[in-house]
Copies of this chain bind each other. A is one copy, B any other.
Amino acid sequence: MTDSKGRLMQGEQTDEFLSGIDTFFFDCDGVIWLGNEAIAGAVETVNKLRAKGKRIFFVSNNSSKSVASYMKKFQRFGIEAYPDEIYGTAKVTAWYIKNKLNFTGKVYLLGSESMAEEFDALDISHTGTGPDPFHGNLDTCIGSVSLDDDIGAVVQGLDIHVNYMKMIKATSYLAKESCLLIVTNEDDRLPVRGSNIVIPGTGSIGAILRVASRRQDRILIGKPNRNIYDCILSKHSINPESSCMIGDRIDTDIAFGIKCGFKTILVYSGVSTADEVEALRKKSPEMLPDYCLPTLADLMRIP
């Protein structure tokens, strides 16, 4: 019944639903926490599911966290988690470059320290991270930029040090057609609530590169693409029919879950809203999540 899709999960449906799922995939930001604050009841829900014997994976488009920094965050929130369960795009991008592309060249990295850590862990050569100040004016700059001939790929994630110098270098490397463009994700914003500040996401930074490089081709690592799933499958056996993706974004999380053949639950504690779900019902009902929940807590509140 397509009509029941995208509706709030009712109390009586929960038990039956949970009994049919053995593996949960969680998005983190907007589902378990918002920035540095846990979403009420979310931590308890994750821990209860684990206590019920469910297998758990954390699948995040966030490229600014290494597995090590995720581990710290989970510990701080009191969530039991293991490195082998954590798949952020910093780790998955490194895996993809090494194992799917078999790329052995050097990477121009427009990303975070955590991405550099994951690259170093797999011996991927890169240009490093951090500020790259712009000196003088545009004219003096053009003379002063020197490009590294060994660069064969530009990898773009969230880089809080992004500036004009980095844009010039990334675009100049991409002028060579053979240079790959690999982007961790295309989320337009980071989920922030209770603030009038909007934080542009990795996809917003990437928009510069798309326009300036005049290139349509790019390898998208994060959700909605299934690379994160492929990375998990390289180590684990998964039965998609008894798996469920829980996320706060229709365009990334739910699209990813559908692409992988999982059941899907959208929580309203992050980016996507009930209005967007209603719009989807008319426009593209095939993209509706199986269920919606106000927050993750509502999955376990009803016993």
Contacts and interface: CB of A to CB of B under 8 A. Distances in A.
Interface string A198-234: 1111011101101111100000000000000000000
A197 interface: yes
B211 A200 contact: yes
A197 B171 CA distance: 8
Interface string A141-182: 110010100000000000111111001100110110000000
Nearest to A36: B139
Interface residues of A, number: 44
Contacts of A204: 167, 171, 208, 211-212
Contacts of A167: 162, 200, 204-205
Contact of A200 (B64, B160, B171, B189): B171
Interface in A50-98: 64
A168 B197 contact: yes
Nearest to A175: B198
A35 interface: yes
Contacts of A137: 160
Contacts of A203: 211
| A-B complex: 7 closest residue pairs judged by Cβ atoms | A200-B212, A207-B207, A204-B212, A207-B211, A204-B211, A171-B198, A172-B198
